[in-house]
C-alpha cells in the first residue's frame, strides 16, 4: 500500500489523509478552481478519494463518482450549481469519449460492487459537510459509514 490513507486500519485522520493525498497528487492541491469546478467542490471530491482509500487513476475516479452519486448527500442548491459547471464536457475534452467508455467497461465489475456497498450504507456521506469529520480517524469513519475496500 503506497499511502497510509489507503490502509483500512489506519489511525490517520481525514485531514491527515487529505494532506497525504495532496502531497501524492500536488496537481489537485491549491486554492484555485479545477476543471471548471469551484475549489470547495474539488476538495469535497478529493475527500471522497481519501475516505475510500483511492488514488487518482481513471478507474478510481469512476469509483469515486459512483460513491458521489449513490453514497453522498447534497443540498439541492449544490446539485443545481454542479450541473451548471463544465466538468463532464471537460472530461470528454481531456480523455475523449472512446477512452472514457473503454475505462468504464473495464471497471464495470468494480463499479457494480461499489454501487452495492454504497446503496447499503446506513447514512450518506455529507459531501459538502465533511469538516466535522476531519479529526476522526479514517478507520473509524469507514466503520461508521460501513465502507469497505473495493
For 95-149, the pLDDT digits (tens) are: 677 877 887 788 889 889 889 999 999 999 999 999 999 999 999 999 999 998 8
Residue 107 and residue 59 in contact, taking contact as beta carbons nearer than 8 Å: yes
Estimate the crossing angle of helix 97-119 against helix 58-71, to 10 degrees.
40
Burial class (CB in 10 A: 0-12, 13-18, 19+), 59: middle
Give, in degrees to the nearest 5, the angle at Cα 52 between 39 and 125. Answer: 65
Cα separation, 91 vs 72, in Å, equals 21
pLDDT for 129 equals 93
Residue 18 and residue 10 in contact, taking contact as beta carbons nearer than 8 Å: no
pTM greater than 0.85: no
Confidence of residue 94 (pLDDT cuts 50, 70, 90): low
**pLDDT digit string, tens, across residues 16-65:** 999 999 999 998 887 766 666 778 888 999 999 999 999 988 888 889 98
Domain ranges of the chain: 4-145
Amino acid at each position: 500500500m503506497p499511502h497510509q490513507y489507503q490502509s483500512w486500519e489506519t489511525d490517520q485522520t481525514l485531514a491527515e489523509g487529505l494532506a497525504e493525498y495532496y502531497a501524492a497528487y500536488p496537481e489537485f492541491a491549491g486554492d484555485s478552481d479545477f476543471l471548471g469546478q469551484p475549489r470547495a467542490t474539488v476538495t469535497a471530491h478529493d475527500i471522497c478519494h481519501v475516505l475510500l482509500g483511492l488514488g487518482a487513476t481513471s478507474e478510481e475516479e469512476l469509483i469515486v463518482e459512483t460513491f458521489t452519486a449513490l453514497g453522498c448527500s447534497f443540498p439541492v442548491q449544490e446539485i443545481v450549481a454542479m450541473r451548471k459547471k463544465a466538468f463532464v464536457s471537460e472530461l470528454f475534452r481531456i480523455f475523449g469519449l472512446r477512452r472514457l467508455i473503454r475505462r468504464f467497461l473495464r471497471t464495470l465489475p468494480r463499479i457494480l460492487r461499489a454501487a452495492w456497498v454504497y446503496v447499503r450504507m446506513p447514512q450518506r456521506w455529507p459531501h459538502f459537510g465533511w469538516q466535522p469529520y476531519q479529526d476522526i480517524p479514517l478507520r473509524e469513519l469507514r466503520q461508521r459509514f460501513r465502507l469497505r475496500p473495493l
